[in-house]
Amino acid sequence: MARITPEEIKQIAALARLSLAPEEVVPLCRDLDSMLDYVGLLAEIDTRDIEPTAQIVPAASMLRVDKAGASFNTALALANAPASEGAAFLVPKVIEEEG
């Protein structure tokens, strides 16, 4: 099985927005390796032409009627916010505009 390198661990951690202490990297490599070794068991099954199951419920999505209902008031929306100002959530400066 492929061994996960510390570099890869750092990349995955960056994608998942987790920061790892230097001493966490090696044990995580080991744990992920052992997990991947274990799940590698699946490679022995021939799954050509087998449909993937994403959801067990056979039906199609239930839809809602387009009807507006009640919303939280601003105070309730912000009640749990670690930081807020006025009517808005407060975050460290957002530098670029995302699409």
Partner 1 sequence: MTRSNVAANAFEVVIGLEVHVHLKTESKMFCSCAVCYGESPNTRTCPTCLALPGALPVMNAHAVELAVRAGLALGCEVRERSVMARKNYFYPDLPKGYQISQYDQPLNARGFLEISVEDEGVWTTKKVGITRIHLEEDAGKSIHEDGVAGADVSHMDLNRSGVPLIEIVSEPDLRSAKEAGAYLRALHDVICYIGVSDADMEKGQFRCDANVSLRLLEKAGSDEFGTRTEIKNLNSFRFVEEAIQAEVKRQKKILEQGGAIVQATLAFDRHAKQTRVLRIKENAHDYRYFPDPDLLPVAVDTMQIARIRAALPELPTQKRERFQTQYGLSEYDARLLTASRELADFFEAATKEHGKAKSVANWILRDLLKLLKQHETDLVNLALSAATFARLIQLVEAGKITPKSAQEILPELAMRGGEPETLVAARGLEVVQDTGVLESAAAEVIAANPDAKERYLAGEEKVLNFLMGQVMKRTQGKASPAQVREFLIQKFKE
Partner 2 sequence: MAAGSIPLGTCAELRRALDTGSVSAVQIVETALARARTLDPMFHAFLGMREERALEQAAAADARRLRKEVLSPLDGIPIAIKDNLAHAGEPTTCASRILSGYVSPYTATAVARLEAAGAVILGRTNLDEFAMGSSTENSAFGPTRNPWDRTRIAGGSSGGSAVAVAAGIVPVALGSDTGGSIRQPAACTGVVGLKPTYGRVSRYGLVAFASSLDQIGPFGRSVADCATVLEVIAGHDPKDATSLPESTTLSCDKWNGDVTGIVIGLPKEFFCTSGLDPAVRDRVHEAVAHLEKRGASVREVSLPHTKYAIATYYLIATAEASSNLARFDGVRYGHRSAEAHDLDTMYQATRSEGFGAEVKRRIMLGTYVLSAGYYDAYYRKAQQVRTLLRRDFDQAFTQCDLIAGPTMPEVAFAMGTRTADPVTMYLSDVYTVSANLAGIPGLSLPCGFHDGMPVGLQLLGKPLDESTLLRVGDAYQRETDWHLRRPPERTA
Residues that bind partner 1 (CB under 8 A): 11, 14-15, 17, 54-55, 57, 59-74, 77-78, 85-94, 96-99
Dist CA 33 CA 36 (whole Å)? 5
Dist CA 38 CA 9 (whole Å)? 18
State yes or no: residue 88 binds partner 2 (CB under 8 A): no
Give the nearer residue to partner 1 in terms of CB position, either 23 or 76: 76
Q: In this chain, which of 7, 57, 69, 86 binds partner 2, going by CB under 8 A?
A: 57
Residues whose CB falls within 8 Å of the CB of residue 18, separated by 6 or more in sequence, listed in order: none
State yes or no: residue 25 binds partner 2 (CB under 8 A): no
Binding partner of residue 42 among partner 1, partner 2, none, CB cut-off 5 to 8 Å per kind: partner 2
3-state secondary structure of 11: helix
